[in-house]
Structure 1
Amino acid sequence: MYKILFIITAMVFSTSAYSQHTVQGKISDPETGIPVFGATVYFPQLEKSGMSNAEGEFRINNVSPGNYQLVISSLGYATRTLNITVPLSSSLEIELRTSAIEMEAVIVSTPFHRLQSENVVMVARETTENLVRNGARSLADGITQLPGVESITTGSGIGKPVIRGLSSNRVLVYAQGVRMENQQYGDEHGLGLSSSGVESVEVIKGPASLLYGSDALGGVLYLNPEKYVPADSTSIDAGVTYHTNTLGTEANAGFNTAGERFRFLLRGNYATHSDYETGDKERVTNSRFDEIDIKTGVGYQDNRYRGDFRYNYNNSNIGIPEEIGEQSTSKEMMLPYQQVDNHILSFDNKIFFNNSSLDLKVGYLFNNRKEFEDHHHEEEGHEEEEEEEEEEGPALEMHLETLNYDIKYNTAKWGNFETIFGVQGMYQTNTNFGEEILIPDASVRDIGILATTHYHLDKIDFQAGLRFDNRNLKSKEHGLAGEDEYFAPLERDFTSYNGALGMKFNVFNSLIVRMNGATGFRAPNLAELTSNGSHEGTNRYEIGNPGLNNEQNFQGDLALEFRNEHFEIYTNAFYNKVNNYIYLNPTGEFIDNDPVFQYLQDDARLYGGEAGLHIHPHPIHWLHIESSVELVKGERQTGENLPLIPATSFTNTLRLEWDENSVLANKYAFLTVKSTLAQNDVNEFETSTPGYTLLSAGVGGNFGIKGQVFGLRLSGTNLLNKTYIAHLSRLKPDGIPNRGRNLSISLRTAF
């Protein structure tokens, strides 16, 4: 390791030996000849950007020699990608053609960082700004606006992503470029992340084990952090949001500055909510929560090296609701509740050579999860005993420490081939400190080796790759053999080979066909192998199975996309075969009044897809009509339905965006109707869920007061105050409805 660090350091300090170059040019509209002001010019490989001035001119300094992609985008114009060689022989003359299609962004979660229209794999992407202004109260809530993505919820404070019917350890979450590890096996364990300081969300729907290893069997939720401002600029912003349903407030502020080489940002967010109110105007007792989130980053870049050091601290106190009981608007925590501290340190390095580059990402994560329980003492003296219990400490406390690394070498282009070789790994320890133990002290070691290549022709692109993974899991003995809650020592090795092959074919300029096939795997997690105890959040006694094998799947995916200047239409179908699918099965026994569940395996399959339509008439740029449908079915080989499969849903949105001169600038308004059908294809331990329809709407825009610009937005969800229970709500067995009507008002400004 020391030799590797020495080599990297030597490379970094040797950058001064290379010459620096400037990329400059002019952007114009070919129909009118008018310069395009405010266009973004971006090097994805370098993560350097610039912006065109009133004359359409731009200039980006300190670019090292090599071949690059240059992405040019501006609102109202079609995004362009140019392949250029630095140094340039002359300034660039770039033409952008008007288009009603919204600006495309570079997809970061796939290996070659291309625009979505150029990607072989279909990736859903949305900015957090759009998610929030469409009514999302949290990150877990916002991702459900993406087709094929839902959330398993426990009240309004806990949400876990579900991609095409798969969740928990089958969906991998990436933040700050490193994989999140936060005891995500638990249904009642949330993301532990805030949308604050997250610029956009990308979702790979399908096995991504080739790129990310174990736990990416069902897909990847990739969170792109806030970018630094352009060189020689500074930005300060602040905002506040109020939610009527939970009487919740959220305050946010950020500072972002950049010089020619060094960059710095700092963002803080604080949110607090009381118990949420249902459509019946009853508050769900102990669904309150609060959150503190702090993100900071320091970056450095010259012509041969880019480094980015980021830190995120997130503290959440989340009530665990069990009933509709005491009606209160208090925001003070009551038993039972979780207290979760997440620390994420990431260091992203990129070293540029002539026509190739080396990426090195290192991440350290510390997750401290505490659960304070209510043992339901007798009424007399209850409050005193409850306070005493909290003072004694948590009933459950687990420390999860994770060190992971990701090294990729992007080779120089050979003809039409681009190739990446990589090594990824992880070392993790789980340590218990509470009086109760759900899983034993243990360690996990991962290593994966991968290679992937992209072949480009004018009308067709191919992408293929192979990967090998090994995981070693070792747990310690705890307790005495033969007694309840005894944990036997365990050591297991899991290996897997995986591959992917995909093709994108431009039938003609407006029609794109994508076909992808990929295998994925997931090694059993510590809970599935070793659990032996009751858990407050699940109200069940779980028994692990030390003989479990890898889950292994194959998914085929077909996507069709047609777009012109007036409308877009897409359809995406998939079939996912999962061997050795791991599931919980009741034994019929009870321990400490909790039903006993044991982990078993069986083959399973999931199939379905998404389809959508987006109409945006070219002469009427301000009008958008959007419709989508998502469907997924899941069943075991024996014919039983899989649990927690989302119901079929239809979403229709009317959206207006315009900017005529008036009191408000950059105005928008939307009206969304989402209809969820009844879910009758249920597991034998579930019950059917009736269908429901929810109405949402919102308006917003910018206004100025004495030269200071403010952004104002008002959004409402479940405007008809419908009383309903979502199929993926963990409170459904208790008959507790989801959240009723909520109005959110937000005010922001920047300096």
Structure 2
Amino acid sequence: MKRLLVIVFSIVFINTYAQNTIKGTVLDNTTQAAIPFATIYLPELETGTTTNDKGEFSLDLKKGVFKVVVSYIGFQSQSITVTVPSEETLTILLSESAMEMEEVIISTPFHKLQSENVMKVEQKKLKELKASGAVTLAEGITSIAGVESISTGNSIGKPVIRGLSSNRVLVYTQGVRLENQQYGDEHGLGINDAGIESVEVIKGPASLLYGSDALGGVLYLNPERFAQENESSADASVNYFTNTKGYSTNAGYKSSSNGFKFLFRGSLTEHSDYDTKNYRVTNTRYREQDFKAGLGYQNSHFKTEFRYNLNNSKLGLPEEIGVQSTAKTPLLPYQNIDNHIFSSKSTLFFEDSSLDVTLGYIYNNRKEFEEHHDHDDHDDHDHDHDHDHDHDDHDEDDDHDDHDEHEILEAALNMKLKTFSYDVKYNLPTLGKFETIIGVQGMNQVNTNYGEEVLIPNATTNDFGVLATSHIHFETLDVQLGARYDYRSIAIENNSDNTFNSFNGALGVKTDIFNKVTARLNLATGFRAPNLSELASDGSHHGTNRYEIGNMNLSNEQNFQVDLALEYKNKHIELFANGFYNIVNDYIFLNPNGELINDDPVFLYEQENATLYGGEFGLHFHPHPIHWLHLESSFETVTGQQDNDEYLPLIPANSLTNTFRVEFNSENIKNINAFVKLRSTFAQNNVNAFETTSDAYNLLSVGVGGTFKLFNNDTNVSISATNLLDTTYVHHLSRLKPDGILNMGRNINIGVNYTL
């Protein structure tokens, strides 16, 4: 009997996990010529290969059904489904395309190419964002149509998606939700761009996929991939910024063999106060240190990875124009923030289904140091209210002496936020035209105060959600639908407990309504439970100079959005028009009551129904015979109003971006690229009663770059200039706008990347 069981088990094991070889050839659809070095990638397994010089490839896979994505520069990416084992030799035909090579979308559950996706998702490679000369990741994402940033100088930026921000936009990194007290105006993104491969943006309610706080959309940051099997690589880069006399460096190494893989990357960034045409903006200086590491293992039926990110930032908090200095050590007041992100992602593959388990733990420690009013003021902090002072830059020893004194001060604000999150999804076997996923998600979060100031009380938050979603493939259209239930409890120390719950659903359709015209219509509801600050804050926020009082009677924000996306694409041109209409019931906002506490105006949290509408429209012209030429244009607009006809605050101004760029290769230099970009921002006159209007302005940017061999290794050099004409302007979403403080002037970025 025992012998029989061993035989039966062996047969099952061999049939389930034995390796099977699939073979194929990749050909040009027009000429039938072989395409060498095309990429063959399996997104579920995160592995792949390339074709040989005859366009041939082979892969060893276990028994099952897999999605295979085939791509090559200058051709439209192709996605096919392969059933293993198979005796058939695959023939994959790629059609020429003037547009960029498509990537698999990770932020949506079925991991499809964007051309197959029912939801419209914007994806950008990080190198594309950095090529524009952006100083930070928060600034870089603003080049994506429909995305803006609320900024405090250069170091602090909060993503804004179609007019919604803070806790209405959820940020994911390393596959887990980022929790770093993002409710505050001066709490930035908190992620360094080193080790980030690409950015995906879901514009619109994504509560079906992510729960509360995804009411306005999702910013999904994809970490760099591990090395391919039996490969290793190392790289180092440095960027210098003339405006801030700052630099950003990073270096990394990754390797993979025998199923195991690892990587690590470290970076250091320092900037002085940024310069305008008239003055430097005092205390916008900052220093950031970042370390990322990853360890993974994979075999035919199981894959797992563990990643860790440590980020330490010392960020100056600008208040007025004062001392003119190029020192890099922040003055008082400043923040000292430690952010630890631990994530674990595992997938267990069965014969025709799979189980994904993602766990995350984030430890955020935020400290703020302030001037002690009973101390004599130092000369360094005698602020000059006249902006027309001497513009000579100088390093002052006093800045560094002051910093040494700051280090022995107790933090006025010392908050620790500990968040554990889990996400478990089961990918059911495909039934005919149906792909279905069911899952549970949740979070436990503890907020604790250790400083003398308590802006929000100690509290524990628990989330739990259950979801189901299906993608249905018909002959002429694709349908995606789903439903979800969420429950949140917030236990506040020395106060009553609050509970919130919500049902949400989504329905989307993608189809070709005309030849080469694709339409996507998505209807979705979303919700956001009030955050701890809105419920229970009671204190002065020195950065915003207001005293905020929470409201324990707040209810869920609930929204319904209609999103229509039209896209026309041929070999030469791509046209797109994305329109949305977003109804938000019980929108939470701050309103002054006319009183003062400690000389600060008192603001109360209130609710009112609101509506946002607008969209993004544009074109990408790439004439087929002239492969090196690209002309791109995009226009974005959003309007937000409460039901009482008052405009919502912090709504971005309309803008138009026109870009001319070229890409080509020469005998000695490859990936040569150059661009000229003009971004025209229109006046913003539709403002909240407590905002001021903003003037129109134009910003001109240029850049050039290329890759050449140095000691037989690739070396990429790029030079870009932003605000080339040194235009003086104030961005409508700058937190320094009420004081009339200008945004950054001309900046030249010189970057070098060396790969081993």
TM-score by structure 1 length?
0.95
**Residue 431 of structure 1: which of 426, 448, 451 is its match?**
448
Distance 1:638 1:506 in 2: 40
- Give the match for residue 46 of structure 1: 45
Distance 1:156 1:14 in 2: 56
- Give the match for residue 454 of structure 1: 471
1:460 partner letter: L
Structure 1 contact 373–536 (Cα < 8 Å) conserved: no
Shift of 1:59: 2.9
Distance 1:380 1:328 in 2: 18
Corresponding position: 1:667 with 2:672 = yes
Shift of 1:15: 9.6
1:25 partner letter: G
Structure 1 contact 122–204 (Cα < 8 Å) conserved: yes
1:631 partner letter: T
1:550 partner letter: N
**Residue 76 of structure 1: which of 71, 74, 77 is its match?**
74
Relative to structure 1, the CA distance from residue 406 to residue 380 in structure 2 (aligned partners, 3 Å threshold; closer, same or farther) is closer
Distance 1:64 1:215 in 2: 39
Structure 1 contact 15–304 (Cα < 8 Å) conserved: no
- Give the match for residue 217 of structure 1: 215
Give the % identical residues.
55
Moved more, 206-215 or 372-381: 372-381
- Give the match for residue 542 of structure 1: 548
Distance 1:733 1:15 in 2: 69
Shift of 1:298: 0.6
Structure 1 residue runs of 5 or longer lacking an equivalent are 1-12, 478-488
Distance 1:264 1:57 in 2: 29
- Give the match for residue 162 of structure 2: 164
Structure-to-structure mapping, 1:9-88, within 5 angstroms: 18-61=17-60, 63-88=61-86
Shift of 1:149: 0.3
- Give the match for residue 486 of structure 1: none
Distance 1:749 1:119 in 2: 36
1:588 partner letter: G
Distance 2:519 2:33 in 1: 35
- Give the match for residue 702 of structure 2: 697
Moved more, 370-379 or 577-586: 370-379
Q: Deviations over 1:389-408 (max 9, x none)?
A: 64132100100000000000
Structure-to-structure mapping, 1:42-191, within 5 angstroms: 42-61=41-60, 63-191=61-189
Structure 1 contact 163–171 (Cα < 8 Å) conserved: yes
- Give the match for residue 458 of structure 2: 441
Q: Secondary structure at the match of 1:733?
A: helix
Distance 2:99 2:707 in 1: 23
Distance 1:115 1:542 in 2: 45
**Residue 416 of structure 1: which of 427, 433, 443 is its match?**
433
Shift of 1:665: 1.5
Relative to structure 1, the CA distance from residue 548 to residue 749 in structure 2 (aligned partners, 3 Å threshold; closer, same or farther) is same
- Give the match for residue 644 of structure 1: 650
Q: Secondary structure at the match of 2:138?
A: helix
Q: Deviations over 1:365-394 (max 9, x none)?
A: 000000011245564678899865641321
- Give the match for residue 313 of structure 1: 310
Corresponding position: 1:328 with 2:334 = no
Moved more, 622-631 or 66-75: 66-75
Q: Secondary structure at the match of 2:142?
A: helix
Distance 1:595 1:611 in 2: 41
Structure-to-structure mapping, 1:615-694, within 5 angstroms: 615-661=621-667, 663-694=668-699
Shift of 1:66: 1.4
Q: Deviations over 1:716-748 (max 9, x none)?
A: 100000000000000001110000000000011
**Residue 589 of structure 1: which of 560, 579, 595 is its match?**
595
**Residue 742 of structure 2: which of 737, 740, 743 is its match?**
737
1:133 partner letter: A
Corresponding position: 1:287 with 2:287 = no
Distance 1:357 1:701 in 2: 42
Q: Secondary structure at the match of 1:210?
A: helix
- Give the match for residue 530 of structure 2: 524
Distance 1:95 1:461 in 2: 22
Aligned length: 726
Relative to structure 1, the CA distance from residue 388 to residue 291 in structure 2 (aligned partners, 3 Å threshold; closer, same or farther) is closer
Structure 1 contact 228–263 (Cα < 8 Å) conserved: yes
Structure 2 contact 329–403 (Cα < 8 Å) conserved: no
Structure 1 contact 40–49 (Cα < 8 Å) conserved: yes
2:19 partner letter: Q
Shift of 1:97: 2.1
Shift of 1:598: 0.8
- Give the match for residue 206 of structure 1: 204
TM-score by structure 2 length?
0.94
Shift of 1:290: 1.1
- Give the match for residue 357 of structure 1: 354
Corresponding position: 1:395 with 2:394 = no
1:596 partner letter: V
RMSD: 1.7
Structure 2 contact 633–659 (Cα < 8 Å) conserved: yes
Distance 1:623 1:171 in 2: 35
Structure 1 contact 15–303 (Cα < 8 Å) conserved: no
Q: Deviations over 1:23-71 (max 9, x none)?
A: 332223244444322211111222112122323222333x221112111
Distance 1:15 1:424 in 2: 34
Distance 2:14 2:645 in 1: 61
Structure 2 contact 330–403 (Cα < 8 Å) conserved: no
Shift of 1:522: 0.2
Distance 2:97 2:558 in 1: 43
- Give the match for residue 503 of structure 1: 509
